Amino acid sequence: MEVTQAAPRRKLAAILSADVAGYSRLMEDDERATLDTLQECRQIMRDHIVDHGGRVVDFPGDALLAEFASPVESVRCAVEIQRTLLERNVLLPEHRRMSIRIGLNLGDIIEQDSALYGDAINVAARLQAIAEPGGICVSGTVFDQVEGKLPVSFTFAGEQAVKNITKPVRIYHLRCEVTADQRPSRLHAMPSGPTIAVLPFTNMSSDPEQEYFTDGLTEDILTELARFRELNVLARNITFQYKGVAVDLIAIGKKLGAQYVLEGSVRKSENLVRITAQLIDARSGSHVWAEKYDRSLSDIFVVQDEITGKIVGTIAGGAGSVIARTGRATVGRKPPDELQAYDHVLRASMTPNMWSKEEFQRSKAHLQRAIELDPNYARARQEYAWTVILAWLFRFDETALPRHELKANSVRSVQLDPAEPLAHRTAAFAYFFGKEMDFFEGEAQSALNLAPNNAEILVQLGTLIGFKGEWDRGVELVTKAMNLNPMSAAGWYHTLLHYDLYRKGQYQEAVDIVKSHPFQQMAETQYKYVAAYGQLGDRRKAREHWEKCIELESTWSAASIVEILRLWNFEESYIEGYMQGIAKAGFLVEG
């Protein structure tokens, strides 16, 4: 019996195209669980589509295609889908959370036997590909129909050429009114437990030069607390702005969003130390716990453990108490055999606003001395290797990166203290620059497992993970770090996001985020403007920043950018796309 095909007919329709962000990674992590979650998400989307008068056309792979007669209803449906999935994700562990990207377009299509064809579908798929995970991207034709009719706002993202479409497509990112605790960045970022602010301890010693010791002790306690998944520990740069300032702890807690505040003081005299610490409930101002320690200086690490254990056991409860009781044998930083080595490590400490060639040399000298005093002091080796990396990255050391020495110190640090997350972080960097990606993955994951709420580790490793092509995973880690440390001005916090926005064709946003980068006097910052302005067609601004690159580095050329991107292990396809922006700005790679 011959099957008669229905005659094709044209119609105007709103097309919804959706897919799962980071689907390949989810499948690698847990194939069965990912398929189960995908089925649940599909059912949620199907229900909302039907409720809003739409029709599901196809479910290819991890994607979905649907049509609507009304563009207004298509937007309402997309918003409801994202809100429902966000609320659902709250109930799931991080590795099971699934984020959907949605693209919406209004255009003329051909329907035959329930299947849809036409350029309007291709445009919707393109919009979906550049939407944020958990986000919605719409075309100008949809925007024109729904503007002012729904409680949503749009951000114009410029025009983009789409394959087989004659005219560029206007692109808008939709922002619906989602409460703070529903936003994807919050869902992925913030631990569920209490938030604690560790204020800088006060130096009560008669010698003001002992300030380094007091600050170092505070940082050590903060670093130890950041190991615990049960706690959300605010980053150093947030709390150290209150150093030497009389504060209202209730007001500070409210401003920083912290339920608890730790404050204290240190008095050091020869080989004796007195440490006072008190934990305050910032909601009421009441003392939760207070203690005074009069100890030999050699017991400083025991005191740090006791303070950390008391805090976790008191405010995290349950599992936190169990973890706290396990002590340094399982989670703590391994102390040195030679106490003087610890003193040199503390003296080597630097903050970004102190960075200079002289400061890096001073820091390296202290760390080298610490290693001489105690060759088996893991922290000294780790911090020495990390200082070498920073000095090289930020051009305070013009010599070539000593990869062998870097790898030797960082790997030895891990061997000496396998429970130290910063050691694994630094080893990950050594392997990354050595192009040993399997070893990089192992060390990076170890660091993230050991310190899940350390903003510094999250943003640094998230950046490298994104650079090598795992964009969704990298951005998720960086976003989590930014929520833990919203006041950071460190370059790490903006770099990956610039490249990711560029990748998605959001060139104006790629420009805007570079403006918040603290290291504007570096050619590596300035060329980012050139690429984005090149894509935006603003050659005048691109040239201004190119000239700044040459002013900062006289030998600068387009080839310099390729060299940098390859150094950071970007995929060749990404480098090609990035250099298109440089070429559009008028600067070509020679040869």
In the prediction, which pLDDT does 179 show? Answer: 36
Tokens of 356: 């200079």
Tokens of 72: 């207004």
Tokens of 128: 């979906």
Is the domain spanning 491-591 CATH 1.25.40.10? The answer is yes
pTM over 0.75: no
In the prediction, which pLDDT does 333 show? Answer: 54
To 10 degrees, the CA torsion angle through 409, 413, 415, 421?
Answer: -130
Backbone angles phi, psi at 580, to 5 degrees: -65, -40
Map tokens 């562990």 to a residue.
Answer: 93
**In a 10 Å sphere around its CB, with 0-12 CB exposed, 13-18 middle and 19+ buried, how is residue 120 labelled?**
buried
What is Dmax (Cα atoms) for the chain?
101
What are the respective helix, strand and coil percentages of the chain, to the nearest 5? Answer: 55, 15, 30
Measured between alpha carbons, how far is 378 from 255 in angstroms, rounded to an integer? 37
Highest CATH level, class, for 334-451: mainly alpha
Highest CATH level, class, for 190-332: alpha beta
Of 304, 260, 231, 254, nearest to 451 by C-alpha is 231
* CATH 3.30.70.1230 residue window(s) in the chain: 9-188
* CATH 1.25.40.10 residue window(s) in the chain: 334-451, 491-591
In the prediction, which pLDDT does 319 show? Answer: 34
* CATH 3.40.50.10070 residue window(s) in the chain: 190-332
For 283, other C-beta atoms within 10 Å of its C-beta total: 12
In the prediction, which pLDDT does 514 show? Answer: 87
Sequence-distant contacts of 80-85: CB under 8 A, at least 24 apart:
80/48, 80/51, 80/52, 81/18, 81/44, 81/45, 81/48, 82/134, 82/135, 82/136, 82/176, 83/176, 83/178, 83/182, 84/44, 84/48, 85/41, 85/44, 85/134
Backbone angles phi, psi at 277, to 5 degrees: -145, 140
Partners of 292 in the β-ladder: 276
Measured between alpha carbons, how far is 354 from 532 in angstroms, rounded to an integer? 31
**In a 10 Å sphere around its CB, with 0-12 CB exposed, 13-18 middle and 19+ buried, how is residue 440 labelled?**
buried
Backbone angles phi, psi at 199, to 5 degrees: -75, 150
| Of the options 2.60.40.790, 3.40.50.970, 3.30.70.1230, 3.20.20.70, the CATH number for the domain spanning 9-188 | 3.30.70.1230
- Kindly list the distances between the CA atom of residue 512 and the CA atoms of 132, 384, 472, in Å, as whole numbers in the listed order: 17, 35, 20
Measured between alpha carbons, how far is 427 from 155 in angstroms, rounded to an integer? 41
Measured between alpha carbons, how far is 182 from 290 in angstroms, rounded to an integer? 36
Alpha helices per DSSP H over 9-70: 23-29, 31-51
Tokens of 586: 């008028």
* CA 44 to chain CA mean position, Å: 29
pLDDT by position in tens, the chain (length 591): 455 566 678 889 999 999 998 888 888 877 877 888 888 889 889 988 998 899 998 888 888 999 999 999 999 999 989 988 887 776 565 666 788 999 999 998 888 777 888 888 889 988 998 888 888 999 999 998 998 787 778 877 777 776 667 788 888 888 654 433 333 333 333 445 678 888 888 888 877 777 888 888 888 888 778 777 667 788 777 788 788 887 788 888 877 778 888 888 888 877 788 888 888 888 888 888 888 888 887 777 777 778 877 777 676 543 333 333 333 333 445 666 667 787 787 777 765 556 677 888 888 888 889 899 889 988 899 989 998 888 888 777 667 777 888 888 899 999 998 888 999 999 999 999 999 999 999 999 999 998 888 888 999 999 999 999 999 999 999 988 887 776 565 567 789 999 999 999 999 989 988 887 777 888 999 999 999 999 999 999 999 999 999 999 989 999 999 999 999 999 999 999 999 999 999 998 765
Measured between alpha carbons, how far is 126 from 162 in angstroms, rounded to an integer? 7
For 227, other C-beta atoms within 10 Å of its C-beta total: 23
User: At 222, which amino acid appears?
Assistant: L
In the prediction, which pLDDT does 4 show? Answer: 56
Partners of 115 in the β-ladder: 112
Of 315, 325, 309, 320, nearest to 287 by C-alpha is 315
In the prediction, which pLDDT does 90 show? Answer: 63
Measured between alpha carbons, how far is 485 from 487 in angstroms, rounded to an integer? 6
Partners of 296 in the β-ladder: 272
Residue 345 · residue 380 · CB < 8 Å:
yes
